Amino acid sequence: MNTSQNSLSEALQGWRVKPPADPGFRQGVWRRIGEKAEPAWPGYIRAHAPSLAAAAFLAAGAAAYTGSVMAHSQVRADREAIVVAYLMDLDPRAQAALKP
């Protein structure tokens, strides 16, 4: 028993692991680190380009339409107000009604 233990111990002491060198190991590690640490903006945008473009197009279109409707509404209100003021200047009936 002692003899076999000694031989095992000697075998273990003499055992050296010599794996074959992997020339791409470091590059592989850095590549994987890079994939994890990438800011992801470009990657995310590239990956979701169609849906992001559609969302941006819809939002911008809706906003532009809303802005245009608001401006047209303002133009209508302004024109109505100025036409009333104009007719007030021209119309003796309205002026007579307003004078005491």
Partner 1 sequence: MRLIPGIAAIIALLAAGAGFAGYSLSRDPALHAAAAKGDTMEWLRADFHLTGAQLAEVRRLHDSYAGSCQEHCRMIQEMTHARDELREAHGDKAALDAANARLEKMRAACEGAIAEHVRRVAALMSPEDGRRYLALVVPRIANFDHAGAPDLRLNRPN
Query: Which parts of this chain interact with partner 1 (CB under 8 A)?
Result: 40-41, 44-45, 52, 55-56, 59-68, 70-72, 74-75, 77-79, 81-99
Through-space distance between the first and last CA atoms of the chain, rounded to whole angstroms: 132
Residue with tokens 């003899």: 3
For partner 1, the closer of residues 6 and 95 by Cβ is 95
User: CB of residue 50 vs partner 1: minimum separation in angstroms?
Assistant: 14
Are 52 and 45 a contacting pair, CB within 8 Å? yes
| Residue (33 or 75) nearer to partner 1, CB | 75
**Distance (Å, whole) CA 76 – CA 55:** 31
Q: How far is the CB of 7 from partner 1 (least distance, A)?
A: 60
